[in-house]
Structures are given as C-alpha cells and as structure tokens.
Amino acid sequence: MRETLADWRPAIDEAIADLVPREIDADYLETFFGPPTYEYDATGIECALATPLWDLLDRGGKRWRAILFLVFIEGFDEDPAEYLPYACIPELLHNGTIIVDDVEDGATIRRGDPALHHVYGHDIALNVGNAMYFLPLKVITQNPADLPADRQLAAYEMLMDELNRTHLGQGMDICWHNEREVRVGTDEYLEMCACKTGCLGRIVARLAAIITDQPDAVEEAVATYAELTAVAFQIGDDILDVEYSLGRAGEFGKEFGNDIREGKKTLLVIHAMEKSEPERARQLQSILEAEDNTDDEIHEALAILEETGSIEYARECALELAAQARAAIDEVNFDTETTRKLEEFTEFVIERDA
C-alpha cells in the first residue's frame, strides 16, 4: 500500500493544483468562479487562500483518501486517470476539517510545523478551512467525467449528508473536550469517530461508487469498509500520539503529549478511566482537565495508560474494526489486486509509524 500511496501522490497534487493553483490570476478566477461584479484581487486571494493551503499540503500528508478513491475506481474497472479531479474532493475536504479542527482545539503543531492559525492568523485559517468545504464541490458542477444529471445529483446529496454527519462528530468531540469529566463510554467514542472521521471515509467510497454507477448494495458495502477503516485509522492516530510521546513511534508531526494536553477523551483514556484504581483515575482526570501540563504530568498520564493496558486494548479494537472492514467487501466482485490493496490498507492505517 505504501507503494500505491507513493505512486499516486504526485498526480493527486497536480490535480489539486488545477483546482487551487499556487499562483492565482484573473483568468483562473473568472474561469473557476465566474466574471467579477467589479474586479477580483488576485494577489489578496492568493495570499489568503492558495498560499496557506499549499503550505499545509507541502508539509506532507499521505493523500490516502484520494488514493483509496482511485483504488476503488480501478476496482470498478474504470481508468483512475480519468477521475483524478474527483479524487481531490475527499482530500480537500479532509484538509479543510483539520485546519478548522486545529483552531477549535488550540493545536500548536500540524505536520511538524506551527498550525496554520499560528502562521497566518485565526481569520485566514478559518476562511481557508471553510473554503475547502465548498471548493471541491465545483468538481461536481464542472463534471469532468460527463456524468448524467441523476448521478451528479446523487453525488451532491451524498456529500451534503455525509458532511452534516461529520459536524455531528466534531460537535461531540468539542463538547467532551470542554467538559471536565470523562462521562462517555466506548460506544459514544466510536460513534464520534464514525461521524467525524468515518464520514470522510464514506465519502471516498460512496463517491467512487456513485460516479461509476454501482448498485446500491455495492455502494453500501464499500461505504461500510471505508467507515470501519477510517475509525480504525482514528484509533491508530490516538495510539500514535501516545507512542510518539513514549518514544516508540516515528516523527508524528504533533506536539509531545498532544492529546493529553488538549484533554481529549480518546478510547485509551476512556478505557484507562474504567480500569484504573479510583485514585489513579482521579489523577488522570486532574491532568486531563488542567489548563496547562508539565512534562512530568504528561509522563504520569502516559504511565496510567500503560499500566491499565489501554494501548493494547485500543490496538485490539482497531484490529477488530479492520477485520470487519475486510469482511464488508467479501461480497463485492473486486479483482485479486484490488482486494489485496484494500486488505493491506486496513493494516496500514493501524501499523503506520507516522
């Protein structure tokens, strides 16, 4: 799967550059957005939109959502190159969500550098993040694959449905972040992930199925696969944050002890609170709800997660979700190579080290 990611990433970035060029001029603005009522300021739009976006994209990111979309397209016996513009939709949506998420969480680091709102200001960061919810929809309007009207409409309706659920997940996450107590359990956490992260995965799979005119049963099967894989990815992300802080993972691109500093109610935290002795649970709770933490406090919280076996518990949950994802596509008539890539991807999202 790593080879597939490496092979397709340059083509994905070229396609994104067609949608949002690094250098903005009047011709692009008129072609993409229509004639101005008076006059566009191309320089201002470049500084406040294109430059921050490409700053984030150039830092890294695996483009796995876009590339998974192309794997599905190939599996549906279509030429991935013909659908590259559509692959940009989930990728830009994802980057928009993380820009806004970093502002909402007060994050300091993203992909190894200061989060965009620390570089360009909250106003520009939020505008760029919000723009990334809407700019990708232009692909459906431009219709580069010459889809019939009913498929265009189906794609629009799907995107609106899944994006709304994405914000439900983010809303739950923000609420828990702001609350002092850890009051939610595993099911609520998994539902939050299914909305916040899983819906972006569902967009990947459902978009590929809709634009290639797959049966409803196939669309639902690949959507289930993608949602489960995305939830496993989120749990893997939570594990990586802890293991990076413990010195066991590669360069993760976030601050040491990031999730603990933000007071996040991850699956590891929920499990540790349930399994700890009362005094240790109160200690973890106190660290999570503090405005600021010392490095010693971060290490203490990590120790509690270790002694309760919460890292291993979270990994087992992720592995079970990955197995369920693989089972979801058993009935889809994919060729052997596509099946191999999809199965490998469920392993990659958990076992990656960055």
- Which CATH number covers residue 243? 1.10.600.10
| Percent residues over pLDDT 70 in the chain | 96
How far is CA 67 from each of CA 28, 132, 135, 327, rounded to the nearest angstrom? Answer: 26, 18, 19, 21
User: Which range is least confidently modeled, 67-76, 151-160, 198-207, 344-353?
Assistant: 344-353
Task: Say how many domains are in the chain.
Answer: 2
pLDDT of residue 182: 87
Residue 331 has pLDDT above 80, yes or no: yes
Domain boundary, last residue among 93, 116, 146: 146
pLDDT of residue 75: 97
Length of the chain, please?
A: 354
User: Which range is least confidently modeled, 89-103, 130-144, 182-196, 240-254?
Assistant: 240-254
Checking phi first, is residue 106 left (phi over 0); if not, alpha (psi -120 to 50) or beta? left
Mean residue pLDDT of the chain comes to: 92
The answer to whether the CB of 67 falls within 8 A of the CB of 75 is no
Q: Give the sign of the dihedral formed by CA 33, CA 37, CA 42, CA 47.
A: negative
User: Which range is least confidently modeled, 5-9, 61-65, 126-130, 142-146?
Assistant: 5-9
CA distance 87 to 15: 8
pLDDT of residue 264: 87
| Residue 124 and residue 77 share a domain | yes
**Average of pLDDT values for 244-268?**
75
CA distance 74 to 181: 47
CA distance 153 to 147: 10
| Residue 196 and residue 85 share a domain | no
Q: Which residues, in sequence order, are bridge partners of residue 128? A: none
pLDDT of residue 352: 67
| Residue 159 and residue 121 share a domain | no
pLDDT of residue 8: 84
| Percent residues over pLDDT 90 in the chain | 79
- DSSP label at residue 115: -
| Residue 165 and residue 48 share a domain | no
Ranges assigned E (strand) in the chain: 109-110, 113-114
Domain boundary, last residue among 105, 124, 146: 146
Give the SS3 label for residue 253: coil
| Residue 85 and residue 154 share a domain | no
pLDDT of residue 178: 84
Burial group, residue 190, by CB count within 10 angstroms (0-12, 13-18, 19+): middle
Residue 252 has pLDDT above 70, yes or no: no
Angle at 103 between CA 97 and CA 105, to 5 degrees: 95
- Phi, psi (deg, nearest 5) at residue 301: -65, -40
| Residue 181 and residue 85 share a domain | no
| Residue 159 and residue 34 share a domain | no
pLDDT band per the 50, 70, 90 thresholds, residue 7:
confident
| Residue 112 and residue 8 share a domain | yes
pLDDT band per the 50, 70, 90 thresholds, residue 255:
low
What is the domain range of residue 279?
A: 147-354
Closest by alpha carbon to 72, among 260, 252, 209, 223? Answer: 209
Domain boundary, last residue among 129, 146, 163: 146
pLDDT of residue 251: 57
Give the SS3 label for residue 26: helix
Q: Of residues 335 and 261, which shows the higher confidence score?
A: 335
pLDDT of residue 250: 53
**Average of pLDDT values for 91-106?**
94
Q: What is the pTM of this model?
A: 0.91
| Residue 257 and residue 241 share a domain | yes
| Residue 320 and residue 289 share a domain | yes
**Average of pLDDT values for 278-296?**
89
pLDDT of residue 127: 97
Q: Of residues 267 and 249, which shows the higher confidence score?
A: 267
| Residue 225 and residue 166 share a domain | yes
| Residue 347 and residue 310 share a domain | yes
